[in-house]
Structures are given as C-alpha cells and as structure tokens.
Amino acid sequence: MTMKRIADHDSPDTQLSAPKSLHLNRLKIKAGDRELLADTNLTITAGKITVIVGGSGAGKSVLLRTLAGLIPSNGPVIKWDGTIESGNDSPLTSRTEAVGNSHSNKDLQDSTPTSDAIPKVQPRIGIVFQQFALFDELSPTENVQFALDHRNDRTRTSGQSSRQWLEELGVPAKTPVAALSGGQKQRLAIARTLAANPDIILYDEPTSGLDAASGRKVAELIRHTHDTYQRTSILVTHDYETLIPIADEVLLLDSQSRLLVPVPRQDWPQIPTRMRPVQLSDTPIRPPTLAQQTTAKIDAFLRQTGSTVVAAARIPYDLLPLFPRPRWGLRFFAHYLRLVGGVSAWIYLILAGLIVGFTGTYFTFRFLPFRLYTQPLLIDELLSSIGFALYRILVPVLATILIAARCGAAVAADVGVKQYGGQIDAMRTLGVKPRLYLLIPIVLAFMLATPILEWMAFTSARFISMFSFTATHPDVGPFFWEQHFYRNLLTSDGGWPQGWGWVMLKNLACGIGTGAIGFYRGLAPKQSASDVSDAITSTVLWTTLYVLLVHFIIALIEF
C-alpha cells in the first residue's frame, strides 16, 4: 500500500505538539467480583508505539476503554480506581527502560514519579475501535470532516483537508461507508482519529477480522502514521505476530498476577508462552431460582421506570446548550427529520386518518338507534360532534400513539445501533456529548414532525368523512356536511379552529417525550443485538404509556 504525504507541518499553526506520555497512578480495575488489574503504577512512554498483549479474557479491551475515558469509575459492572494523567515526557525517556529488564511491577511502582512530579493534565485521547465505529449515514469525507471540526484547538489549522486525509490514507472518497472493505474502513477510522489531533491514539485490536496480508498492511500503516505524526500510540491486540514487529515497547497484561508487566525486547519471542488465558472457576454455577428470576425482572422494571422518569426530568437541562457546531447540528437534525417525518410516516398517518375518519362517520350513522326516525332530527348535531371528536380527540390520540410506536421505535433503533456499533463512544472520544448531536436534533425533529403528521391524519380523516357521508346521503350533499362538520370548531372571526392550542400542546408534549424516551432507551448499554431489540420493544411500551398519560392529564384540564 502506497501512501502519499500531503501536507508538511512547517508553519507555526500546523506544527505538531510534543507527544505526551500516559501515567497510570494506582490504577485498579474490577469486572464484577473479578479483579482485572491490581494496584498499578506505570508510565507509557511518549512518542512510541506500545503494544499491550494478554491472554483471552485478561481484560485488554476493558483496560483500553478505561484509558480512553469511556468507562465510568463506578459503573454497574466494571469499576476502576486511581488516576490516568498525561505529561510531556521526552520520547527518549522510557519508564520501562528506566527499570531495565525487570519484570517486577514493584520496581515499576518505585520508579514512578511522585504525584507532584507528574503534570496533572487530561489528555485528548483518540481511539480506533475494533468495529471501526464509523458514522454510516455520513460519507467518508464527512466522517473525517466531523473530526476536523471538533478538534480540541480549532484556532490552529489542521494542515490538511478531509479529502487530503483520505488521499493520504488511501480511502475512496465517493464510496459509501457501508460499501468499504474492512481494510478501507480501518484506514478511514485511522484518518478520522488522526484528523482530530489527539495527544494519544489507542488501537483496539486493529487487525481483528483481517486476513494476514491486510493485517500486515494495517501494521505498516500504523507505523507510517506514527512516524509521520509522532503521536503516542497504544495498541491492544491478540495478534502479536503481526503487530509486535512495529512495536517500540511491549506490555503484558498477566492474568495471574493481574499486572501490566514490561517485556524486554530480548524476551519478545517468548510472549506466546506467557499469554495464558484466564482460568475460570470450576465451581458449577447454579441456575437462578424462580424467586430470583422474578426479583431480577421486578428490579429491571423499576430501574427502567426510574431511568425513564429521570430522563423526563432532565429534558430541560439536556436541551441546553445547543449545537457546538451548527453545521453538524443541522446535519443530524435533517437525518432525524427524515427518520421521524419521512414519506413512509406520511403514508402511515394518512392511512390511519382514513381509517378513523371512515369508521367515525360511517358507523355513527349506520348503527344509529332508530335510524329512520332519529337521523333526520340529529344529522346536523351528529356531524358537528364527529368533527369535534376527530379534531380534538380521536385523531390526536391515534396519531400520537402511532407516532410514538413507529417513530419512537425508529429512533431507539437508530441510537441503539450507534451505541452497539461504537459511534456513541466515537463521539465521546472526539469531545462531543452525544445529546448535543442526537437528543437535541431528535427532539426538534419530533416537535416539527408531530404536528405536521397529525395534521395529515386529520386532513385525510376529514376527506374520507365527507366522502363516506355524501356517498350515504346523496340527497344532502357535501355543502351540508362542511357547514355542520366545522360548526363546533370554527370561531366567529374565522380564525384558527377552537381548541387548536390544546391540540398543539398535546402534539408537542407527546413528541418531546417520545423523542427523549427513544433516545435514552437507545443510549442504554448494548452488549448484543438482542439489547437493541429490547430497547425498541421497551420504547414502544414506554412511549405509548407516556402518550396516553399526556392525553389523560390534558383532557382533565381541557374539558
């Protein structure tokens, strides 16, 4: 693979900053009851490629995500303690070199600088994810441009455009992201990460899923970009045969001692024998009893209920501030507006309006008691009641329930796939809070689309009501229908229909809540595709209940 250097960093604005080291101070990581990393003090050398190897299940990916700041210190499953700081150590000064060839973590701890000597700086860390975590709805050029627009220091020019980054890394600009090969996606992920100008770059299994030839090309690419941009690079891998040749230093995550052990260069050939898989306990695990299963389900239901209530209470806070980059805020808003209020939603709501308009009109007159005697006396009152019911009650309730079910599920699926695929974490590593480009556009899309979709449903209901009435009452005609259908709606001055404010209030309240619930259910942690499916199902349930509650409360006030 040939790569071309596009821009030289020769101006003051584009000069590369000094690479930064990474200091782990008394870092401990636990997953449930199992300790993955014991009390560890370590400095990962600035400006070098450090490869972290370890047996299967040792916790390499958890360690990488902890270094990237993607795991909270007191999470429900994974907990960690200690500090992760950055400094401007010289790339020639290696903490592992300072301790010689010793494998002892105690020697490493004793040689670690004191907290006063370590600059307490939060580094900007970029990560190249194992599953790439690319934004599928964006083009390759837009993926890189997103990183360029969210650099930590935008006062300094990047030196290269997004298209130049793609040319340098060998990524086709016009091919959709979904159509790229695995190697092309890997190069695009590296280009996006480099474009954000991070202090430290983490690679999570960069050759996973690639054949041997592609893996070697990726290794060469990492070495090339590292030599060009002089970032501190940390690679977590099980593919030591491909990536150790490009390493400057190697750390072994020993599953028995639960320590990060420096491996001297002369011992690198023995690494395969030292990568022991995690020994799990032989004690048989008893299946949970019926009482335990019931308790767990009740606990999960209460947690979901609590998170839903908290999400609703946080909406005013989460909607501020607005987009950090208006261009990208509008880009995501357009995406979610198509998702929520696209053509398929129009058809969905128009058909619903036709159904409720036809049934509300036809069956009212068809099954009227003593129809031959009462219909001539009540026909005008029935039409005005039908118009009032369709406009103020039936269509708003049906439309918002259908929007909650269809559009809420679509949003939960979209955000859930982003969470499962790593795009949410990619946003965080680029310094973007997901709610700014996801929650706010989603809520705005619902606020705009819900009234429009409800209006489409009412328009179709009104049309089919007139059609079915005139078809069954040809002697009266459409003029009579129109005169009495709007009688309880039109004001004397001919302005907006009566109660339009209540209808709009219900639309906006239902839309905002549906969007927020879909976002938060999709944002919940996803370990498998079934978690995405569960998020969709729970979104349909919670949004439907929420919409019914909104209509009930407003109806008590309105009437």
What confidence score (pLDDT) does residue 355 get?
Answer: 96
Tell me which residues of the chain have a pLDDT lower than 70: 1-17, 88-123, 153-158, 277-286, 296-297, 299-323, 370-377, 492-494
**Where does residue 210 fall: left (phi above 0), alpha (psi -120 to 50 degrees), or beta otherwise?**
beta
pLDDT tens for residues 115-149?
334 444 466 889 999 889 999 999 999 999 999 99
State the burial class of residue 32 (Cβ atoms within 10 Å of its Cβ: 0-12, 13-18, 19+). exposed
Instruction: Evaluate whether residue 378 is within a structural domain.
Output: yes
Q: Which residues lie below 8 Å from residue 285, measured CB to CB, with a gap of 6+?
A: none
Q: What is the pLDDT of residue 202?
A: 94
CA 117/CA 110 separation, integer angstroms: 14
| Terminal CA-CA length for the chain | 72
pLDDT of residue 135: 93
Alpha helices for 70-177 (secondary structure H): 95-98, 105-111, 140-149, 162-169
What ranges in 15-84 are assigned the alpha helix state H? Answer: 60-67
365 found inside a domain: yes
- Residue 153, CA distances (Å) to 147, 150, 325 in order: 12, 8, 14
How confident is the model at residue 223, as a pLDDT? 93
CB within 8 Å of 559: residues ≥ 6 apart: none
Q: Is the peptide bond between 478 and the residue preceding it cis, with omega within 30 degrees of 0?
A: no
The count of residues in the chain is 559
CA distances 215 to 127, 169, 270, 460, Å, are 18, 15, 22, 58
Tally of CB atoms within 10 A around 300: 12
Question: Is the residue at 432 inside a domain?
Answer: yes
pLDDT at 138: 92
Is 366 within the bounds of a domain? Answer: yes
Contact 129/180 with Cβ under 8 angstroms? no
User: What SS3 state is found at 232?
Assistant: strand
If residue 233 lies in a helix (H) or strand (E), which one and from where to where? strand 232-236
Q: Which two tokens stand for residue 65?
A: 């995500």
In a domain, 510, yes or no: yes
What residue spans of 342-438 are helical by DSSP H?
343-366, 371-389, 395-421, 423-429, 434
In a domain, residue 54? The reply is no
Q: What is the pLDDT of residues 314-339, one digit of tens each?
A: 666 666 666 678 889 999 999 999 99
pLDDT given at position 108? 36
Q: Domain range holding 512?
A: 325-558
Task: Give the amino acid at 296.
Answer: A
Number of compact structural domains in the chain: 1
Residue whose C-alpha is closest to residue 44's, from 133, 116, 125, 128: 125
Query: Do the domain assignments include residue 343?
Result: yes
Q: What local confidence, expressed as pLDDT, does residue 305 receive?
A: 62
| Tens of pLDDT, residues 69-106 | 899 888 888 999 999 888 765 433 333 333 333 333 43
Q: Establish if 283 belongs to a structural domain.
A: no
Quickly list DSSP for 436-505: IIIIHHHHHHHHHHHHHHHHHHHHHHHHHHHHHHHHH-TTT-HHHHHHHHTTTT--TTS-SPTTHHHHHH
